[in-house]
Amino acid sequence: MRPGEARGRTERDDAEEPVTDTQSSSPSLENLLHETRTFPPSGEFAAQANAQPSLYEDAAADRLEFWARQARDLVTWRTPFTETLDWSGAPVARWFADGTLNAAYNAVDRHVEAGLGDRVAIHFEGEPGDTRTVTYADMQREVSRAANALAALGVESGDRVVIYMPMLVESAVAMLACARIGAAHSVVFGGFSADALRSRIADAEAKVVITADGGYRRGAPSPLKPAVDEALRGEGAESVEHVLVVRRTEQDVDWTEGRDVWWHDVVDTADDVHEPTWVEAEHPLFILYTSGTTGKPKGILHTTGGYLTQAAYTHKNVFDLKPESDVYWCSADIGWVTGHTYIVYGPMLNGATQVMYEGTPDTPHKGRWWELVEKYKVSLFYTAPTAIRACMKWGEEIPAGFDLSSLRLLGSVGEPINPEAWMWYRRVIGGDTTPIVDTWWQTETGAIMISPLPGVTATKPGSAQVPLPGISADVVDDEAKPVPDGGGGYLVLSEPWPSMLRGIWGDLQRFKDTYWSRFPGLYFAGDGAKKDEDGDIWLLGRVDDVMNVSGHRLSTTEIESALVSNDLVAEAAVVGASDEMSGQAVVAFVILRGEHADEASTDEGSARIEKTLRDHVAKEIGPIAKPRRILVVPELPKTRSGKIMRRLLRDVAENREVGDATTLADSSVMNLIQAGLGKPS
């Protein structure tokens, strides 16, 4: 069985789990109740901030008019829209639907037309230290060439193009070139396997794949093209007509004549003038696959006008961007939504100058990021808690060796940030002065939803705090009733927002079931949350079978399906166990097939099985999904209705006393598991 195939489980199988039983490693409810530090904005920051308290008032006075104003102010329309929101087809929203525009024109051309062509768009830094400076005028030419080249390869408006790339200028160019001709891009993270790539290509029915020979990672060239070749050899990827290959590492690549074309042959030689394809606001801009609670990744669909509006609005106000003077850097990869909204669309719509870095933070030394902050005088920096915790471990003397005084604002995203990491980030990286914006959002929300506003909000370490102006979020109990201040429950979004997903590609029913059926009329985000006494929101982690490993979303079911697709395994259960570094770590419990059952009886045998299965998961999904530990067990704990009680397995994985097991079909199972692992029951 492939990871793409679900095993007949329901979307949610945690019905027995109490509201506060979230998967979050970091801040427990108890801890957070004791967190009382607050950091009011400095008068100096507040005076110059883009965001003013009146933003909340404006949005509250007339939410739709507020969004219409953002859309007119921040986005350039070819044809102005006359209707703001059409919610008659709920839960599929239509925003600014009768307007037309082009995303690449908004990100690039209009800045050149405004006389800003010489402004640096991207300071690119390769891992080996090669650099490239790209202005907005350069971007316009490059995106136009790529658009002409894609059109020559047969890509038309409405087609899908898969992008499987390292972090290169060409990656952003490729995305914008698709947008320029009205083709939806679907970026697949370069760390995903050939199998994962194939299932995404197949689901999107992509016509072209854009890739590179490889990229530099951890000091060595890391190949990408072979995974594309392998993906296209398999069944399901017949839609692909061409593979467009950027030369980066100059590794040897296999070549399929007629199908494969070099970027430098077809893009560099193409005409650098291209008339953008004007599309309707609801024209698909991109599909991005993300893990859900079943085995099959969801193709999250975003469209053009509303997405761009909220991308630009949030980037301007949450990061306080001053495009003339700031140097912005988001350390994400374009394979994730953060790279879409806060590297490509938000910053470029706002005409920002940004740093783009190809490699890992510790190559060739653990100060690489801070060296880049010093070198480019980065003023706004956006990263993930897992990276902050890694830097904490490496020691504060490393950032102390660099001049970080250019930094004036820090952002965090991807998982709850534990208060200690928040404090360290502010003190060591932010020189004890920078505001920190802890931004909660999801692939599905398209842009930031909950975050302090710098210069306005008094920040609290560990809390994303308040819905942005224009956004309606709440914490509700099992009956969908808002909890009082001090209470805990589920995070929901109660009004449509411009950058909301417009569905799951090809599966409207799954879209409704996943997000809109738990609490009718409310968008269920899948996160547990609490409100403190001030009504501020604290995110507590996922309440479903989705793990968060180093800020990346992984599905327990997807990894379980990968494990049972190996001949050794009869059954598997995966949990996210708290991990100091990565937030959560994947821990797998497997029952071996009868004929292999004895093989785990020796240390050597179980080590071999563990390695085989870890490699197998890496091949099926990608190295990020490799279980940290694989435990061979005789049974799995199940309820009478056959659902695996992951809560109990998490107790085992986290070396805790096992909690209430009374709803198990067979209550002796936990003893059996504990005994097999050599633990007292």
List, as residue ranges, the binding site: 217-220, 338, 414-416, 438-443, 527, 542, 550, 553, 564, 569
Nearest to 84 by CA among 179, 75, 213: 75
441 contacts ligand WT7 (rule: CB under 6 A): yes
- Of the pair 342, 369, the CB lying nearest ligand WT7 is at 342
DSSP three-state, residue 668 = coil
**In sequence order, what are the residues at sequence separation of 6 or more whose Cβ sits closer than 8 angstroms to the Cβ of residue 297?**
4, 196, 199, 200, 203, 289, 290, 291, 555, 558
Q: Is 48 helix (H, G, I), strand (E, B) or coil?
A: helix
12 binds ligand WT7 (CB under 6 A): no
Q: Are 543 and 490 in contact (CB under 8 A)?
A: yes
Q: From its phi and psi, is residue 307 left (phi > 0), alpha (psi between -120 and 50) or beta?
A: alpha
Q: State the nearest-atom distance from the C-beta of 589 to ligand WT7, in Å.
A: 23
Which residues are annotated binding-site positions for ATP?
A: 414-416, 438-443, 527, 542, 553
Contact call for residues 111 and 117 (beta carbons, < 8 A): yes
DSSP letter for 402, please: S
Binding mask 523-562 for ligand WT7 (x = CB under 6 A): --xxx-----------x--x-----x--x-x---------
Site for ligand WT7, residues 320 to 339, rule: CB under 6 A: 336-338
The residue (of 100 and 383) whose beta carbon lies closer to ligand WT7 is 383
Number of residues that bind ligand WT7 (CB under 6 A): 23
CA distance 187 to 553: 15
**Residue 551 beta carbon to ligand WT7: minimum distance, rounded to whole angstroms:** 6
Residue 249: left (phi > 0), alpha (psi -120 to 50), or beta?
alpha
72 vs 309: CA distance, rounded Å = 9
| Count of other CB atoms within 10 angstroms of residue 9 | 17
CA–CA distance, 576 with 553 (Å, rounded to integer): 11
Determine the interface stretch with ligand WT7 among 57-65, 318-326, 493-501, 520-528 (rule: CB under 6 A): 520-528
Query: In this chain, which of 25, 211, 331, 442 binds ligand WT7, going by CB under 6 A?
Result: 442
Given a contact cutoff of 8 angstroms between Cβ atoms, the answer to whether 309 and 510 are in contact is: no
Alpha carbons 564 and 185: distance in angstroms, whole number? 32
CB 298 within 8 A of CB 510: yes
Tally of residues, the chain: 681
* 464 near ligand WT7, judged by CB under 6 A: yes
Stretch that binds ligand WT7, among 188-196, 411-419, 477-485, 606-614 (CB under 6 A): 411-419
**DSSP label at 459?**
B
Closest CA to 280 of 95, 86, 465, 508: 95
- The Cα diameter of the chain in Å comes to 73
Q: CB nearer to ligand WT7: give 212 or 387.
A: 387
Query: For ligand WT7, which is the closer residue by CB, 289 or 376?
Result: 289
Taking CB under 6 A as the rule, does residue 440 contact ligand WT7? yes
Question: Which stretch in 116-124, 317-325, 436-444, 665-673 sits in contact with ligand WT7 by CB under 6 A?
Answer: 436-444
Query: Residues forming the annotated binding site for Mg(2+)?
Result: 564, 569
Task: Work out whether 475 is an interface residue with ligand WT7 (CB under 6 A).
Answer: no
Q: Which is nearer to ligand WT7, 272 or 420 (CB)?
A: 420
Shortest CB 530 distance to ligand WT7, Å: 12
Q: Which residue lies nearer to ligand WT7 by CB, 381 or 440?
A: 440
The contact mask relative to ligand WT7 for 187-216 (x = CB under 6 A, - = no) is: ------------------------------
Nearer to ligand WT7, 243 or 421 (CB): 421
Q: What minimum distance in Å lies between the beta carbon of 534 and ligand WT7?
A: 18
Interface residue with ligand WT7 among 281, 301, 413, 554 (CB under 6 A) is: 413
- Looking at residue 393, what DSSP letter applies? H
DSSP 513-565: IIIITTTTTSEEEEEEEEE-TT--EEEEEESSSEEEETTEEEEHHHHHHHHHT
Q: Which is nearer to ligand WT7, 483 or 664 (CB)?
A: 483
Q: Which is nearer to ligand WT7, 214 or 551 (CB)?
A: 551
Q: How far is the CB of 546 from ligand WT7 (least distance, A)?
A: 7
Q: Dihedrals φ, ψ of 583, to 5°?
A: 85, -65
Sequence ranges of the binding site for CoA: 217-220, 338, 550
Q: Does 416 bind ligand WT7 (CB under 6 A)?
A: yes
Shortest Å, Cβ 208 to ligand WT7: 25
Instruction: Convert 577-595 to b/e letters by CB count within 10 Å (16 or more is b).
Output: bbbeebbbbbbbbbbbeee
Q: Which of 414, 452, 469, 470 binds ligand WT7 (CB under 6 A)?
A: 414
Nearer to ligand WT7, 182 or 335 (CB): 335
CB of 447 to ligand WT7, least distance (A): 9
Q: Does 295 bind ligand WT7 (CB under 6 A)?
A: no
List interacting residues with ligand WT7 (CB under 6 A). 290, 336-338, 413-416, 438-443, 464, 525-527, 539, 542, 548, 551, 553
